[in-house]
Amino acid sequence: MTTDLRAEVEAANTALYEALESADAQRMAALWDESEPDAVVCVHPGWPMLRGRSHVLRSFSAIMANTPYIQFFLTDVQVHVEGSDLGAAAIVTCTENILTAVTETDSAAQTVSTNVFRRRADGWRLQVHHGSPVMGTLEEIDE
């Protein structure tokens, strides 16, 4: 049961990156929670916080319209599920290794992301996506 739930959450998480890669605004919209639209939050790497489902979807539409090519290689993906009732939260944390053609000088980047999904009647829906740039290695930081 828990294994099934984790697989469901991981599939929902993968769908987020596939929607971005294919610049599919409809698929993107279907991923985000509609039950509590005001609680939807998104932080794009280096950005301030965006609140509200429609504001967040607009930001993704703008990003997808301005990104000729983007590909994500996810590593260190961890899925944590507690509970299976409606409203239960699942947390996915992962490293996003990104290849993109947004700029010519910065075509590869690494970000880390926390994605919070809520269980709704129709499946796991995204409530929070918080991505942030990785600007050093742990070796540099830990010393």
Nearest-10 crossing angle of helices 2-21, 53-65: 50
Cα distances (Å, whole numbers) of residue 18 to 14, 26, 38, 72: 6, 12, 24, 8
* Residue 112 interacting with its own copies (CB under 8 A): yes
Q: Least distance from C-beta 82 to its own copies, angstroms?
A: 4
Q: Least distance from C-beta 98 to its own copies, angstroms?
A: 14
Q: Least distance from C-beta 66 to its own copies, angstroms?
A: 10
Token pair recorded at residue 11: 């599939």
Return the number of the residue (23 or 131) whose C-beta is nearest its own copies.
131
- Under 8 Å between Cβ of 16 and 129: yes
Task: Choose the stretch contacting its own copies; rule: CB under 8 A; options: 3-11, 12-20, 99-107, 109-117.
Answer: 109-117
| φ/ψ (deg, to 5) at 113 | -140, 140
Which residue type is seen at 89? A
Residues that bind its own copies (CB under 8 A): 36, 39, 41, 43, 45-51, 62, 76, 78, 80, 82-83, 85, 87-89, 91, 93, 95, 112, 114, 116, 118, 127-128, 130-138, 141-142
